[in-house]
């Protein structure tokens, strides 16, 4: 298989993974809906840079090293699960606060204390997700051969990053459009509740799988 075919296959597989609902999608959905476009785009950038880091770590073998050392991988799982549960609890706290305060529009709401916090929330959500670590180890080891040229590997990293940034940015842009906002604002509490439940369940499952309570 030539390098162009490898890159095309990599792009297709990664795009399918991006389209699959998960914590990254939920994070963009929840925050772009409630806090607007700038916050959604900041989260999109944070998620994409974290994916870039995963890709580089996987293609250089560092992620595989972590995965092959059970104790180290366990702490990555604990950290990742804790981040997801924190997001779930934060969403519940925000939902409870919204029920006791006057209704706010997306422009009136405090944008997760600014785009900087939104950016780091995006970074941490993906970076410490052990499922993302395992996925990128599998993706890179399966589709990017060790014999691939340095320029080819650089292109592979660029393809994964640009697809991620394009998808999450487009999602944030779409969800924060004025017409979409009019609809989503009415169901924002439902979105917040479902996202909170997703974060708590995924985070709890990751921590449980780490064997902390076993």
pLDDT tens digit sequence for 91-105: 787 777 766 655 555
Kindly state whether residue 2 falls inside one of the protein's structural domains: no
From CA 118, how far away is CA 30, in angstroms rounded? Answer: 12
Q: Is residue 50 very low, low, confident or very high in pLDDT (cuts 50, 70, 90)?
A: very high
From CA 199, how far away is CA 83, in angstroms rounded? Answer: 9
From CA 123, how far away is CA 46, in angstroms rounded? Answer: 4
CB 9 within 8 A of CB 127: no
Q: Which residues, other chains included, contact 149 with Cβ-Cβ below 8 Å and sequence gap of 6+?
A: 3
Could you give the count of Cα atoms lying within 13 Å of 197 in the half-sphere of its Cβ? Answer: 6
Q: Is residue 1 very low, low, confident or very high in pLDDT (cuts 50, 70, 90)?
A: low
Chain position carrying tokens 């806090």: 35
Kindly state whether residue 102 falls inside one of the protein's structural domains: yes
128, two tokens: 């410490």
Number of H helices, E strands in the chain: 10, 0
| pLDDT score at 177 | 82
Kindly state whether residue 153 falls inside one of the protein's structural domains: yes
Per-residue pLDDT averaged across 9-13, rounded? Answer: 93
Kindly state whether residue 36 falls inside one of the protein's structural domains: yes
| pLDDT score at 101 | 56
From CA 37, how far away is CA 45, in angstroms rounded? Answer: 12
Model's pTM, two decimal places?
A: 0.79
52, two tokens: 């870039």
Kindly state whether residue 28 falls inside one of the protein's structural domains: yes
CB 66 within 8 A of CB 72: yes
| pLDDT score at 161 | 97
Q: For the chain, what is the mean pLDDT?
A: 83
Q: Which residues, other chains included, contact 27 with Cβ-Cβ below 8 Å and sequence gap of 6+?
A: 43, 47, 87, 121, 122, 125, 195
By residue range, what is the domain housing residue 61?
A: 9-209
Kindly state whether residue 3 falls inside one of the protein's structural domains: no
| Mean pLDDT lowest among 17-21, 29-33, 206-210 | 206-210
Residue 198: is its pLDDT beyond 60? Answer: yes
Kindly state whether residue 141 falls inside one of the protein's structural domains: yes
Q: How many domains does the chain have?
A: 1
Kindly state whether residue 4 falls inside one of the protein's structural domains: no
Q: Which residues, other chains included, contact 199 with Cβ-Cβ below 8 Å and sequence gap of 6+?
A: 23, 26, 84, 85, 87, 88, 91
């Amino acid at each position: 298989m030539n390098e162009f075919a490898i890159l095309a296959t990599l792009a297709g597989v990664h795009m399918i993974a991006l389209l699959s609902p998960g914590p990254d999608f939920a994070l963009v959905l929840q925050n772009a809906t409630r806090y607007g476009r700038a916050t959604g785009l900041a989260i999109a950038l944070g998620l994409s840079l974290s994916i870039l880091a995963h890709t580089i770590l996987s293609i250089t073998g560092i992620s595989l090293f972590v995965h092959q050392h059970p104790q180290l991988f366990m702490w990555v799982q604990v950290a990742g699960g804790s981040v997801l549960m924190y997001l779930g609890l934060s969403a519940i706290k925000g939902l409870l606060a919204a029920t006791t305060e006057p209704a706010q529009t997306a422009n009136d709401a405090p944008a997760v204390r600014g785009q900087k916090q939104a950016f780091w929330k995006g970074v941490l959500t993906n970076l410490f997700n052990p499922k993302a670590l395992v996925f990128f180890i599998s993706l890179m080891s399966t589709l990017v051969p060790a014999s691939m040229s340095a320029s080819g590997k650089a292109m592979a990293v660029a393809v994964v990053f640009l697809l991620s940034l394009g998808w999450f940015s487009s999602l944030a842009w779409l969800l924060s459009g004025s017409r979409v906002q009019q609809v989503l604002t009415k169901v924002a509490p439902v979105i917040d509740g479902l996202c909170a439940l997703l974060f708590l369940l995924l985070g709890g499952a990751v921590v449980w799988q780490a064997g902390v309570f076993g």
